[in-house]
Structure 1
Amino acid sequence: MRLRYIVLSTFVLASLFAFKGTQPEILIIGDSISIGYTPFVKSTLENKAQVFHCKGNAQYSSYGLSKLNDWLGNEHWDIIQFNWGLWDICYRDPNKPIDYTNRDKINGKINTTKEDYKANLETIINRLKQTKAKLIFVTTTCVPDNEPGRYDNDVQDYNIIAIQVMKENNIPVNDLYSISKQIHKEDGLGDNNVHYKAEGYQKLAIKVCEGLNKLIND
C-alpha cells in the first residue's frame, strides 16, 4: 500500500510539473494602464499561459531602463509584452519630483524628448532580445482633451516613433491606441483622466489577448 501511495504521488507531482512546463510564461511591462488590464488578461489566458506583470509601474522609458534587469530577473520568459509612453509624454515642472501629481501641459516640460524616447526604446529592445523571448509592443492609449499633463497629439507622434523602431527590429505591434479612443468614451474615468473603469480595462484586455494568443500559437 505504501509503495502504491509513493508511486501515485510521484505520478501526480510529475504531471503537475509537466503541465507547468507546457504553459508559456508571459511578462507584461507597462504603466498603470497595463496594471489595470493585466488581471483580465490573466483570467482569459489562464488555461494557456502564466501571466505576470513587472513589479510596480514601469513609468517612463529611462526609468524602465534602470529597472529592466530587476524585472527580468533570472526567470525564463517565453513572451514579453512592453510599452512606454504616457509618462514619457507628460509635461511636468522640472523642479518637482516626477510623480502623478506633477502635471502641467501649459507651463511644464515634456518628460522625455522624442530623440531620447527612440534611443531608450532601442536600448530596451537590445536588452529584451537577450532573453530570447518573443517580443510584442503595444501602442500607448489615448489621452482625453482635458487631461492636465498630456496632449493626445503627442501620443500619436510617440506611437509613430515606437512603431518605426519596432518595424526596424521585426517586433510585432498591437495597436491599443485606435480602440482606446472609443473604449475611453464609453468606459473611461472622465475627460481629464487617462484611466478606465473595470469595463474599460476588460475591453482593452481582449485586444491584448489577441496579440498574445498569436505568439502563444506561433
Structure 2
Amino acid sequence: MASQFALLLGLLAITCSVAFASDNNPLQDFCVADNSSSVLVNGLVCKDPKLVEANDFLFRGLHLAGNTSNAVGSKVNLVNVEQFPALNTLGISMARVDYAPLGINPPHIHPRATEILTVIEGSLQVGFVTSNPENRFITKLLQKGDVFVFPMGLIHFQRNVGHGNALAISALSSQNPGIITIANAVFGSKPAISSDLLSKAFQADKNIIVRMESQF
C-alpha cells in the first residue's frame, strides 16, 4: 500500500512539473534571428551575440503610406520577426494599416496574438465577435487618438467611416501573430472546400457559394 502511495505521489510530481514547464520569457538579453540558418526550431535560431550591432535593432519604413488601391481599400504593413529579426523571442510585433475612404480591413483572426490598435488619423468603426455560443458583436466608433483591443483568436475588423484616408498603428503580442482572413480561408482554400459542404454550413444556395469561391 505504501509503495502504491509513493508511486502515485511520484506520478503527480512528474505531471505537475510537465504542466508548469514553460518558456514564456526570453532566457537572455536578446536573440536576433539568424535568417541564414537552415536549422528548424519553434521560432528562429539566434545570431551570435558577438556579431549583433545597433542596426539589428532598427527598422525603417513605417512612415511610408501603403497602397490601398485594391478590392478592400486597405493595406497592412506588418513588422514581425520576418521583417525585423530583433523581435525574435521578444513576443511583440506591430503593423501600419492604411485605409482608403470606406476601406476595410476584412474580418480576420490572429491565432497567436492579442492586438491593440491606435487611430492616428481618421475615423474607424471597429469590432469583434465573441466565441460560441454567445457570438456577441462588440463594436465601437474610434476617432484620432483612440485605442481599442482585440482579444487573441477572435474575429475582428476595421472600417474607415470617414471621407478621407485613415491610418492606424497596431501592436501585437507575438513575434509572429499570424493572420487568417475569414473570407479567403473559407472561399479561397487550396484545394477548395467542397461547395456542398459550404452550402450547408452557410445555409445558402450552392450557386452562390460557387460564385463566392470564384472571387477568391
TM-score (norm 1): 0.27
* Larger proportion of helix: 1
Greater Rg by CA: 2
